[in-house]
Amino acid sequence: MPFIEISSPTGKIKFHYTISTPSCADADKIDPEIPVLLFFHALAFHTVFHSQFSDPLLRKFNLVTFDLRWHGDTESDVVPEKYGQEEAAEDIIALITTLRLPPCHFVALDLGTMIALQIAVILPHQVLSLFIMSHVCLEELPEVQEGRTELYELYTSGLPGAHIDVGFGYTQYTFSNNMSNLAQALCDSTMPIDSRNWSSEHLQEYRLTSYDIFCNRKSQPRTALSQISCPVKLVHGGNSVVYEPSYTIQLMNSLQEAGVDVTMEIVANAPHYLCLDYANDVNIMIHELVTHSMTKESIPATPTNVISPWDAILREYGWKPDRVNELDDDDLTVSFPTWVDNK
């Protein structure tokens, strides 16, 4: 998984990114003959799109993702005090330009949605379609901001065991307490990296990229939304404990009023981070959106024997792919590595 250095108005960044093609899970470059899907990950989980990158239905395309600033293995200068959706979008536009990516189909979850939408507003020709899951594109709700503040203050308190409590809080936020074997492996594999990025020496970066960016976000005005020139699909997890379906309906109404071609789906029983365990529903919707304007002859063939670029690390942290990924009683135990207690 390569790195690329870019310069943006907010500083220098060494982006860690991943390209998967039909024939290679970790490619050096895209296949220029087939469409590109650019994935914008969620808060804390830079490998959350494992179930998309391992699906032959989607691996017929170029799948590209990257680690946001102070997530995963991306390295960067100090984040400026004002770092919101506009500044984050400028960073990703610089990445797109440096990688020389053609117009792409955007797929985004949670934190990534506000950034993807911002790019669709200011650079509409770059976005062929916009697939938004569990959006955070409107101003934060007071009750959700209260929960974010509670977790932020606990994380930065220095109290013994605080990081474990915050970890449990985030699992409620992400998976609604229903932890599958795959979700548990994702959490266990990601938390050492998050703890490194958001250590006591980097609490300011934690605040700016994981707290302020949510709490200070602004809804796009109608004049901005009217710039979007691609179809938009909104997807909401029916079992999300963070936002009610009305929050997604509100965004859909705003897009419709701006003249945007938008549709919405609710995935029954799915949590806020729905793309991991509900990929059977999600991936079909992504495929339908991407291929909607393509002729049957132009749709690439479905590859065989594909593997996720994160297959090995998830197995190392306990993922058992031969196990039916049901949310049974065995999957409801949430554990954290012992190193968390020492942070």
Encode pLDDT of 308-338 as tens digits: 999 999 999 999 998 754 554 444 444 444 3
Amino acid making up residue 245? P
Q: What is the mean pLDDT of the chain?
A: 93
Which CATH number is 98's domain given? 3.40.50.1820
Residue with tokens 């009305």: 246
Helix or strand run (H / E) with residue 230: none
Q: How many helices (H) and strands (E) does the chain have?
A: 13, 9
Report pLDDT digits (tens) over 90-145: 999 999 999 999 999 999 999 999 999 999 999 999 999 999 999 999 999 999 99
d(CA 49, CA 186): 10
pLDDT at 92: 98
Number of domains in the chain: 1
Q: Shortest CA distance to 288 belongs to which of 54, 131, 98?
A: 131
* pLDDT (mean) for 83-92: 97
Q: What is the 3-state secondary structure (H, E, C) of 290-315?
A: HHCCCCHHHCCCCCCCCCCCCHHHHH
Q: Shortest CA distance to 216 belongs to which of 40, 87, 39?
A: 87
d(CA 76, CA 28): 22
177 confidence band (pLDDT: 50, 70, 90): confident
In a domain, 306, yes or no: yes
In a domain, 334, yes or no: no
Q: Shortest CA distance to 179 belongs to which of 325, 318, 341?
A: 325
Q: Is the pLDDT of residue 20 over 80?
A: yes
pLDDT at 330: 45
* Whole-structure pTM value: 0.94
In a domain, 339, yes or no: no
Residues whose CB is less than 8 angstroms from the CB of residue 248 and which lie 6 or more positions away in sequence, other chains included: 135, 234, 236, 264, 266
* pLDDT (mean) for 155-182: 89
pLDDT at 322: 85
Whether 132 and 108 have beta carbons less than 8 Å apart is answered as yes
In a domain, 220, yes or no: yes
Q: Residue 313: which domain range?
A: 3-327
Residue % of the chain over a pLDDT of 70: 94
pLDDT at 332: 43
Report pLDDT digits (tens) over 182-220: 999 999 999 899 999 999 999 999 999 999 999 999 999
Does 114 or 163 have the greater pLDDT score? 114
d(CA 235, CA 157): 35
DSSP 325: -
pLDDT at 333: 43
In a domain, 341, yes or no: no
pLDDT at 178: 82
d(CA 132, CA 113): 6
Does 340 or 259 have the greater pLDDT score? 259
Whether 16 and 66 have beta carbons less than 8 Å apart is answered as yes
163 confidence band (pLDDT: 50, 70, 90): confident
Q: Is the pLDDT of residue 257 over 60?
A: yes
In a domain, 316, yes or no: yes
In a domain, 250, yes or no: yes
In a domain, 335, yes or no: no
Q: Is the pLDDT of residue 229 over 70?
A: yes
pLDDT at 249: 99
